[in-house]
Amino acid sequence: MPAEAILYEGPVFGAEGADALAVRCGRIAAVGASAEILRLKGPETVLVPLRGRAVVPGFFDAHTHFVRVGLEKTFYVELGRTRSLAEALERLHSAASARPGEWTVGRGWDESFWPEKRYLERSDLDRAVPRQPCYAMRVDGHMLAANTLALARCSLPDGEFVDRDLGHLREEAAWQVARTARPDPETLVEAVDAASRHAASLGVTSVADMAGAGDLIAYQSAVQRGTLRTRVFLYLPVDELPALMSLGVSRGFGSDLLSVQGVKAFADGSIGARTAAVGEPYRDGTGHGQLLIGRHELASRWRAACETGLQVAVHAIGDRAIEEVLAAAHQAGISPLDRHRIEHLELPSAAQLEDVASLGLVASMQPNFLQWSGPGGMYEERLGPERDARMDPHARVIEHSIPLAFGSDGMPMGPLYGIGLVLDPPHPSQKTPLLEAIRAYTEGAAHASFAEGELGKLFPGKWADLVVLSGDPARTPWGELEVDLTFLAGERVYLRDGAS
Ligand SMILES: [Zn+2]
């Protein structure tokens, strides 16, 4: 049987000496020398001349919020690229004017890149959007600023998560208000389509999605319409554990395109919102952050998930949260064979890394978080230079042979950007060699979702999820590379304008 597609005359990542690859039935049929692989050509075979461009495995984003990524393209007022607080308010104001009477929802603001260097506040939003409810979520998703009308939807009392004067809601309080302004089902289905297109343009063919329970129905519709062209490995909120248990849903339930893998819990918040649980207080004297779950409760949920056959992914950023997660893992008696995951693992101590390694936990880290590290950055401002230099220690993780998976958390999505940051990071312990970085964003992420048998390597038998870069990373500086083509199961899902 002839090949469906042949990519030839360009380096094949991870296959020494090979410069071609053939696809059959959506899978990689053969990898080898161009002359030999071209013999598999038939009359219908699609030929893709690489002309020295490298082919790499489709990137696997090990931690994202896929529907949110799509909504940023279709529904939210995008505040991620605003250069000042005033510009963010201007955007919210014009969006509100265009849709009077409706919720105005902004997303992605980051005061650390603004000259004002302060959070959005209720009074700002009341001025910009006076007549309809409006909230704007900070980039990390752990805090929002609400106007007076939106604040009325928050039923929680004032305290560590609610500051009505400033209009600041954190963690559960923020999510409560966000849920009341949730877009309608059709908007969510369109968001899956938008996210899938966007992912393909970035070379992302698989994602581990830290999803909301309400996303499932949107995914189902997208699958039926054929608009989901990204493999999605779902991690549902840990609160859904009883439902999953009663249904008997365990890891792998679903299809090659969409499957349930496990549950996701939060041990703490974020550095940006000052809710990450840290041992030493924040440098600006705003406390130690918050633990969102205690070790005993986490351990009992962990045991329940294991009995059901679900993977557990726990968000832990600060050293105090990491300590709690490790204690819970010991208490639950987890096995390395279950590949449970710590999400972010930003500020581990040396002893904690030893423990992560011995427990066989997977480190699911986000190289793009380095955008906040280094002199003058947000991490240094919140934590001081000593702790900033210990943030995101990818090199230490690799030294400890801890399985490493890279993702983006959607801040923003983009493996090329993330990998670029770890190649030349602010601090030595963050540095990751190119080969290791690409592996963490392909094989490592596949391993973290038990998909290494099917994905993550250019090897015969694996799915033909492929990315053609605009050059060869061995010759072209990483920052100059672009994604030219993306294939999912051998089918082209993206072609860059001007590429072929
Ligand atoms: Zn996340």
**Chain segment 213-248, per-residue pLDDT in tens:** 999 999 999 999 999 999 999 999 999 999 999 999
For residue 210, how far is its CA from the centre of ligand 1 (angstroms)? 6
Helix (H) or strand (E) holding 406: strand 404-406
**Chain segment 427-458, per-residue pLDDT in tens:** 999 999 999 999 999 999 999 999 999 999 99
For residue 263, how far is its CA from the centre of ligand 1 (angstroms)? 13
| Whether residue 2 has pLDDT greater than 80 | yes
Strand-by-strand arrangement of the 20-24 sheet: 27-32, 20-24, 5-8, 46-49
Token pair in block for residue 252: 């792998």
For residue 409, how far is its CA from the centre of ligand 1 (angstroms)? 5
CATH hierarchy code of domain 185-448? 3.20.20.140
For residue 235, how far is its CA from the centre of ligand 1 (angstroms)? 11
For residue 341, how far is its CA from the centre of ligand 1 (angstroms)? 13
| Whether residue 407 has pLDDT greater than 90 | yes
Q: How many CA atoms lie within 13 A of 115 on its CB side?
A: 4
For residue 480, how far is its CA from the centre of ligand 1 (angstroms)? 28
Cα–Cα distance list, 380 to 82, 116, 233, 276, 421 (Å): 22, 17, 34, 14, 17
**What pLDDT is recorded for position 395?**
98
So where are the chain's domains?
Answer: 5-58+459-495, 76-180, 185-448
**What pLDDT is recorded for position 487?**
98
For residue 313, how far is its CA from the centre of ligand 1 (angstroms)? 11
The mean pLDDT value for 462-486 works out to 97
For residue 38, how far is its CA from the centre of ligand 1 (angstroms)? 43
**What pLDDT is recorded for position 115?**
95
For residue 176, how far is its CA from the centre of ligand 1 (angstroms)? 17
**What pLDDT is recorded for position 162?**
94
**What pLDDT is recorded for position 157?**
87
**Is the fold of 5-58+459-495 the same as that of 76-180?**
no
For residue 64, how far is its CA from the centre of ligand 1 (angstroms)? 6
For residue 495, how far is its CA from the centre of ligand 1 (angstroms)? 28
**What pLDDT is recorded for position 52?**
96
For residue 146, how far is its CA from the centre of ligand 1 (angstroms)? 21
Domain with residues 76-180, CATH architecture: Roll (3.10)
pLDDT band at 286; cut points 50, 70, 90:
confident
Cα–Cα distance list, 323 to 148, 312, 319, 327 (Å): 38, 16, 6, 6
For residue 84, how far is its CA from the centre of ligand 1 (angstroms)? 25
pLDDT band at 285; cut points 50, 70, 90:
confident
**What pLDDT is recorded for position 81?**
86
Q: What is the pTM of this model?
A: 0.95
What percentage of the chain carries pLDDT values higher than 70?
100
| Whether residue 159 has pLDDT greater than 90 | no
For residue 279, how far is its CA from the centre of ligand 1 (angstroms)? 22
For residue 327, how far is its CA from the centre of ligand 1 (angstroms)? 22
**What pLDDT is recorded for position 72?**
93
CATH superfamily of 5-58+459-495: Urease, subunit C, domain 1 (2.30.40.10)
The mean pLDDT value for 61-87 works out to 95
Neighbours of 300 (CB within 10 A): 13
pLDDT, greater one: 263 or 171: 263
For 315, residues 6+ apart whose C-beta sits below 8 A from its C-beta are: 264, 265, 266, 267, 268, 343, 344
**Chain segment 379-405, per-residue pLDDT in tens:** 999 999 999 999 999 999 999 999 999
For residue 410, how far is its CA from the centre of ligand 1 (angstroms)? 8
Average of per-residue pLDDT values in the chain = 96
For residue 177, how far is its CA from the centre of ligand 1 (angstroms)? 18
For residue 142, how far is its CA from the centre of ligand 1 (angstroms)? 9
**What pLDDT is recorded for position 319?**
98
* Residue labelled with tokens 């992912």: 199
| Whether residue 148 has pLDDT greater than 80 | yes
